[in-house]
Amino acid sequence: MDLGNKTRVSEFILLGLSEDTEVHPLLFALFLMMYLVTLIGNMLIILATISDPHLHTPMYFFLANLSFADICFTSTTVPKMLVNLHTETKTISYGNCLTQMYFCMIFAGLDDFLLTVMAYDRYMAICHPLHYRLIMNPRLCGLLLLVSWILSVLNSLLHGLMVLQLNFCTELEIPHFLCEFTQVIQLACSDTFLNDLVMYFTTGILGGIPLTGILFSYSKIAGSILRISSRGGKYKAFSTCGSHLSVVSLFYGTAFGVYLSSAATQNTRASTIVSVMYTVVTPMLNPFIYSLRNKDIKHALKKIPC
């Protein structure tokens, strides 16, 4: 290892989506529009859930928190990208980079855990309807939300503290529009074996277990729906979890697509473009997925004063 190239890091360089400055105004307008749609759509979901007493149920409680997590997730990345596109700058300070990475990991993890909790909620509602209200009481819902927050914060804090122990060289260009954890680790001069080991372990535990829980819940849900005799009953049961299943598929599909494309190709710019799906597009689409097929949400949105 060449220790002579080590330096005190003051800032990183975010290369962004494109180095062609002519397309920056177009990218700025596009992502500004997507960001505003994300904010407005998720805020409407939260307001509808709070204002309508009929939506004071576990399903909509977790949905409102998912919308809050999506707002925070996009707000940690998109504003900085918009500033860089508008000012034609690419730099981000060392402190801001680690802060962005820390909060990105928190809210991405929170999304993951909330989707798992929502799958459990649907499992209880469809497979154990007689005990649903007794089991999914406000105390348990609050506890599940608290545990989701604690696990997300602890996981992000662990990785953040380990990054602080790394030394960085003079090559500080990040081929991304955000300070993604894996991209930052690759710039380190010091040994990152422990960081990589902890990353794979936590990803396997905190990513694999929630996904397994979601798949288990929906396998039980599918079995219960198939045992319903009436066609109308099957449709009603499926409609209560169809939106959540769509969001889960979108979240995991895009996330896996990013990491599989990163492993299969050395084209980091292509991987960066794909990552736009789960960092920007998915949070924007979630409110539409839940509102378009949900009569309760539509009714609550109409009651919100203009």
d(CA 45, CA 40): 9
Which architecture does CATH list for 8-303?
A: Up-down Bundle (1.20)
DSSP line for 52-90: -GGG-SHHHHHHHHHHHHHHHHHHTTHHHHHHHHHHT--
The pLDDT tens digits along the chain (306 residues) read 444 444 467 889 998 888 888 899 999 999 999 999 999 999 999 999 999 898 899 999 999 999 999 999 999 999 999 999 998 888 999 999 999 999 999 999 999 999 999 999 999 998 898 999 999 999 999 999 999 999 999 999 999 999 999 988 777 888 888 998 888 888 888 888 999 899 889 988 888 899 999 999 999 988 888 887 777 767 766 777 788 888 888 888 877 766 665 555 555 666 677 778 888 988 999 888 888 767 778 788 777 765
Q: Which two tokens stand for residue 31?
A: 């992502």
The overall average pLDDT reported for the chain is 86
Could you give the count of Cα atoms lying within 13 Å of 54 in the half-sphere of its Cβ? 9
pLDDT for the residue numbered 133: 92
Q: Is 164 exposed, middle or buried (0-12, 13-18, 19+ CB in 10 A)?
A: exposed
| CB-based contacts of 170, cutoff 8 Å, min separation 6 | 5, 7
Q: In Å, how far are 10, 20, 107, 153, 200 from 194, measured between CA atoms?
A: 24, 37, 24, 20, 10
Strand residues in 102-169 grouped as ranges (E): none
Q: Where are the domains of the chain?
A: 8-303
Tell me which DSSP letter residue 187 carries. Answer: T
**Tens digits of residue pLDDT in 225-274:** 888 777 776 776 677 778 888 888 888 887 776 666 555 555 566 667 77
pLDDT for the residue numbered 268: 62
